[in-house]
């Protein structure tokens, strides 16, 4: 086919039967039926609105034949019809025709008679001007738009990143506006490679994290028999999870075929990490003398652990029950009960230490190397970075949790004996794990066999299930001295660097500080000072390493106690949460990439992206009845967990598809998704984005059940779960909007025809979430409208992302055409029927 931007065919049925349907065929070397195009009944003036496109992999050439067939509809309900006539033409004939318009006769099957005439003419996309479409309003006509060129599908795919979005299906419609003009509407639905790639990366990270957790537990050193047996049980459970995840990963690597998980496979165990029916949908609207508009939505089945069932509820209910049981288990296993916020903080500290220690070490080496080059400004820049990272490191370890956890770990060592008198060790290092017997022993604690219970006297010991123990024989100030040594070492490095710069500038203004007099002297040559700097840097690295190791052991002991309390459920709760989060993250990554590519040329959007982040608004249509309650409870936790995710934009190594695939890194408490962009797109970004600034995405969830089960729930059941979710997420959305208005000017936000103020929309939404009203879909409509007004990412979900989801998406699309593009009210229902066909 010659290179044309697009080929659009308005088709006019000059002799139209009373009831008619039309079918297109495409002929390459082998005939293929492309689709049943459209049908209308009960009129001699049918208006066929549905369009069709040829995907990029279809063999369309200049010699390709296109066949049009017209049928008379006898019974639409029983889908019976009779063939009336057909006609065919080649792409070459059409392109070479005068004014690129063909008049074709519809011939019977035996070619014995003419039953009608069709006129096919080409119209370029965007050429819908006054006077050019008058012929569409003739008495007997039917307007059909059909994309014949590969180029349009390809260009749309480019805007959606063809490396991530595949197998696009396009439909084209032409609708009349209130001023009798015509708009062109193009729908494109695509599959997403992230449906599988993100979950597979996450599973690999889960395996890596749990393997590291096992090593951290082993690195705790020697523990009492009681704690050692508990540690072995936890390691055994982690080994079991790792084995299951490895098997799942092997099965996923074998899969070929569609890039989405169909709803019929939602109960399969090895697919539990894969989102259901994840697709992207874009509606592009072209109106006369106006810029094209895009409306995007991601459709996906509600993130839920279908393979594990919902007999006992979903994650929200199970987690609440788990916290209650954990308190009793902590008493039974002689553990300290740590509330969820404490264990979350322990994981955060572990993550911060793991990230900052190697970073500080690398900066220290870089500082020493820069000092050898006698370059003032680079030396000062590296020192500033080292100072910032070290301060972050010290600040993270000031938390009382680390200090108290070290005390608890000390009590779990073999031979630990509590004393009534304070006896602080003089050594700054950790107490000997085999201390000698004290002069006045009181009782032995946490040094019992795993199958035994502590002696009766030990119940008076400081180890309690509801509080952090404080053992007086252990120097509680030792930890403060240890992490403070890091700051002192850094101060020594800073002082010496200052002296080096003074020497290099021949500007010695003052003598060295008194505290460094034995190390630094004003008459020392610069070379000697640089050697001394190497000694100080080595000391700093050793201090950081020692502090990091102690902190790592302490928080690992906190997490050991949490794991001990959860072994009764076999860590199934964590597996369920992993699977649900995997589905949610795959959908979020898909939506983020789609939104990013759509806004690459929007400076206001890019400013908002790095200043305050984006809102990801999940619309759920689940009922609060039966199993769907459990699904909604799973979804609530999965969407909430997305707040632990940040995005970072990077430059792709090449233009190849594999280099443009997003990647995931991190641990369960914090993940980063890196989105690579082609060189030309990356270089056009603002500095903040090119420098790799972490980008926030704020997830919010609004749910309104709309099916018949919700009717039962509202009359006889409980809808408090839905009410709580909507109220909670409204507060989150309202908080984001306040931050947005304080940071980003209103000019950065998109413009809409409907001039309702966002603040007014928020107030109305706030009133609706507290109003007792059955199936209050106004909540979903308002939340979706606000999301689009603030450049958010839209998601729509139900159980399987099929019936309810498609009804919601098509209704929203037609409403947008009506409100934003003046769709003629007489076409609203007809447009809705076309999109749902």
Catalytic positions: 798
Q: In what order do the strands lie in the sheet with 614-620?
A: 165-176, 182-192, 279-286, 293-299, 793-797, 614-620, 695-703, 645-651, 670-677, 663-667
Q: At what angle do helices 572-598 and 627-640 cross, to 10 degrees?
A: 60
Tokens describing residue 73: 């509809």
Q: At what angle do helices 526-566 and 376-397 cross, to 10 degrees?
A: 30
Neighbours of 54 (CB within 10 A): 23
Tokens describing residue 530: 């640089």
Q: Which residues contact 380 (CB under 8 A, 6 or more apart)?
A: 497, 501
Angle at 503 between CA 499 and CA 504, to 5 degrees: 115
Q: Which residues contact 376 (CB under 8 A, 6 or more apart)?
A: 501, 504, 505
Neighbours of 545 (CB within 10 A): 13
Please, are residues 397 and 349 in contact by the beta-carbon 8 Å criterion? Answer: yes
Quote the DSSP letter at residue 283.
E
Please, are residues 282 and 263 in contact by the beta-carbon 8 Å criterion? Answer: no
DSSP sequence for 254-265: H--S-SSB-GGG
3 state DSSP class of 102: strand
Q: How far is CA 202 from the centre of its chain?
A: 12
Tell me the CA distances in angstroms from 617 to 204, 730, 781, one per residue in order.
28, 11, 12
Please, are residues 637 and 314 in contact by the beta-carbon 8 Å criterion? Answer: yes
DSSP sequence for 562-625: HHHHHGGGTTHHHHHHHHHHHHHHHHHHHHHHHHHHHTTT-HHHHHHHHHT-EEEEEEE---SS
Quote the DSSP letter at residue 177.
B
Tokens describing residue 601: 């040329």
Q: Which residues contact 257 (CB under 8 A, 6 or more apart)?
A: none
Neighbours of 304 (CB within 10 A): 31
| C-alpha closest to that of 465 among 339, 322, 341, 319 | 339
Please, are residues 63 and 89 in contact by the beta-carbon 8 Å criterion? Answer: no
Return the residue matching tokens 């019929």: 264
3 state DSSP class of 272: coil
Exposed (0-12), middle (13-18) or buried (19+): which is 143, by Cβ within 10 Å? buried
């Amino acid at each position: 086919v010659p290179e044309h931007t697009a080929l659009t065919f308005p088709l006019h049925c000059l002799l139209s039967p009373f009831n008619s349907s039309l079918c297109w065929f495409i002929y390459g070397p082998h005939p293929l039926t492309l689709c049943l195009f459209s049908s209308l009944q009960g009129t001699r003036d049918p208006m066929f609105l549905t369009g069709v496109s040829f995907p990029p992999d279809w063999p369309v050439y200049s010699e390709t034949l296109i066949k049009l067939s017209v049928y008379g509809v006898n019974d639409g309900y029983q889908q019976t019809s009779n063939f009336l006539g057909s006609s065919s033409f080649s792409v070459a004939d059409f392109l070479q025709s005068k004014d690129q318009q063909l008049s074709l006769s519809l011939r019977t099957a035996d070619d014995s008679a003419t039953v009608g005439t069709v006129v096919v003419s080409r119209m370029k996309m965007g050429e819908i001007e006054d006077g050019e479409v008058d012929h569409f309003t003739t008495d007997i006509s039917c307007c059909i738009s059909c994309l014949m060129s590969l180029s349009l599908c390809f260009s749309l795919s480019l805007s959606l990143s063809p490396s991530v979005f595949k197998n696009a299906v396009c439909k084209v419609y032409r609708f009349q506006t209130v001023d009798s003009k015509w708009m062109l509407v193009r729908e494109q639905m695509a599959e997403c490679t992230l449906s599988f790639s993100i979950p597979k990366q996450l599973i690999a990270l889960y395996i890596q994290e749990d393997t590291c957790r096992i090593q951290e537990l082993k690195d705790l050193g020697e523990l009492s028999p009681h704690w050692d047996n508990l540690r072995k049980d936890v390691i055994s459970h982690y080994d079991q999870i790792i084995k299951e995840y490895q098997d799942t990963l092997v099965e996923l690597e074998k899969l070929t075929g569609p890039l989405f998980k169909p709803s019929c496979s939602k109960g399969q165990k090895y697919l539990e990490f894969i989102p259901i029916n994840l697709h992207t949908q874009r509606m592009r609207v072209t109106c006369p003398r106006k810029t094209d508009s895009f409306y995007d939505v991601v459709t996906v089945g509600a993130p839920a652990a279908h393979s594990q069932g919902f007999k006992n509820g979903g994650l929200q209910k199970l987690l609440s029950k788990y916290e209650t049981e954990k308190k009793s288990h902590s008493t039974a296993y002689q553990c300290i009960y740590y509330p969820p916020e404490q264990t979350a903080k322990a994981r955060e500290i572990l993550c911060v230490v793991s990230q900052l220690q190697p970073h500080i070490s690398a900066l220290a080496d870089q500082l020493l190397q820069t000092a050898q080059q006698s370059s003032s400004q680079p030396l000062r820049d590296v020192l500033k970075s080292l100072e910032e990272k070290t301060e972050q490191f010290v600040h993270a370890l000031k938390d009382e949790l680390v200090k108290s956890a070290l005390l608890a770990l000390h009590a779990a060592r073999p031979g630990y004996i509590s004393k009534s008198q304070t006896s602080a060790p003089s050594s700054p290092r950790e107490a000997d794990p085999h201390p000698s017997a004290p002069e006045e022993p009181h009782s032995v604690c946490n040094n019992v066999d795993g199958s035994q219970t502590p002696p009766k006297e030990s119940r008076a010991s400081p180890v309690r299930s509801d509080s952090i123990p404080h053992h007086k024989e252990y120097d509680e100030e030792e930890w403060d001295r240890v992490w403070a040594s890091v700051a002192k070492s850094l101060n020594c490095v800073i002082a010496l660097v200052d002296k080096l710069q003074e020497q290099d500038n021949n500007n010695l203004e003052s003598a060295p500080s008194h505290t460094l007099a034995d190390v630094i002297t004003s008459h020392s040559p610069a070379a000697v000072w640089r050697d001394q700097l190497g000694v100080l840097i080595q000391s700093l690295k050793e201090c950081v390493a020692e502090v990091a190791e102690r902190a790592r052991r302490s928080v690992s002991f906190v997490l050991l106690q949490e794991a001990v309390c959860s072994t009764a459920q076999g860590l199934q709760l964590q597996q369920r949460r992993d699977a649900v989060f995997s589905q949610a993250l795959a959908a979020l990554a898909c939506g983020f990439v789609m939104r990013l590519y759509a806004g690459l040329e929007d400076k206001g959007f890019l400013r908002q992206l790095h200043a305050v982040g984006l809102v990801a608004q999940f619309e759920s249509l689940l009922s609060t009845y039966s199993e769907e309650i459990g699904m909604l409870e799973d979804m609530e936790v999965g969407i909430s967990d997305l707040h632990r995710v940040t995005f970072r934009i990077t430059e792709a190594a090449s233009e190849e598809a594999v280099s443009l695939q997003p990647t995931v890194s991190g641990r369960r408490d914090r993940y980063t998704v890196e989105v690579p962009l082609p060189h030309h797109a990356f270089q056009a970004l603002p500095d903040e984005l090119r420098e790799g600034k972490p980008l926030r995405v704020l997830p919010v969830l609004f749910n309104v059940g709309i099916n018949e089960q919700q009717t039962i729930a509202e009359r006889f059941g409980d809808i408090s779960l839905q009410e709580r979710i909507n109220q909670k997420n409204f507060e989150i959305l309202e908080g984001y909007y306040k931050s947005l208005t304080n940071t980003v000017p209103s000019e950065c936000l998109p413009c809409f025809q409907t001039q309702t103020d966002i603040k007014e929309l928020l107030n109305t939404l706030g009133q609706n979430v507290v109003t007792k009203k059955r199936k209050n879909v106004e909540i979903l409509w308002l939340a979706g409208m606000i999301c689009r007004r603030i450049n958010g990412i839209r998601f729509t979900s139900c159980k399987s992302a099929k019936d309810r989801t498609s009804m919601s998406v098509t209704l929203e699309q037609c409403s947008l055409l009506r409100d934003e593009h003046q769709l003629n009210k007489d076409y609203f229902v007809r447009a809705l029927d076309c999109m749902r066909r």
